Amino acid sequence: MRENLFRKIQNGEHPMPSAAVTLGAQIIEISAELGSIVIEFEGKSAFTNPVGNIQGGFLVAMLDDTMGPALAVTLREDEFAPTLDLTTQFIASAKIGKLVGYGRVVSKGKNVCFLESELKQNGKLVAKASATAVIRQIPR
């Protein structure tokens, strides 16, 4: 399983993917057994819409970057799992500052996986997402 890779990322011994760096991601907690993860993000001024809130799409990028790792941590080294679809509900506006993503694997089948995540700011739910992913072998 890739849990070791994520522990290395968490400990700063392995680089984060660029998208995660751009989103200011920091892994707070990982559980490969539960298929769950907690990641802190930075809502930057570079992500704001005309009214100064974090643009919804960047909140989705954070939710995606929470669900992806929640599943990835349970995969074997020779597997990857592209997302097929992703649905987001925007519950409240998010301001510049810290956001915390809570991701979990709802169901992991032989190929098809269902994922969900929540994004909170100061303890308040700002957005919620669900996604479908499929497990594939990494071509050699």
Judged by the rule CB under 8 A, the positions of this chain that interact with a copy of itself are 17-19, 21-22, 45-51, 54-58, 60-65, 68, 80, 82-90, 93
Least distance between a copy of itself and beta carbon 61 (Å) = 3
Cβ atoms of residues 24 and 66 within 8 Å? no
Distance of alpha carbon 61 from its chain centroid, rounded?
Answer: 8
Pick the closer one to a copy of itself by CB: 20 or 35.
20
Least distance between a copy of itself and beta carbon 115 (Å) = 12
Taking the C-alpha atoms of residue 88 and residue 4, their distance in angstroms, rounded to an integer, is 30
Q: How many CA atoms lie within 13 A of 77 on its CB side?
A: 3
Least distance between a copy of itself and beta carbon 7 (Å) = 16
The one-letter amino acid code at 98 reads: K
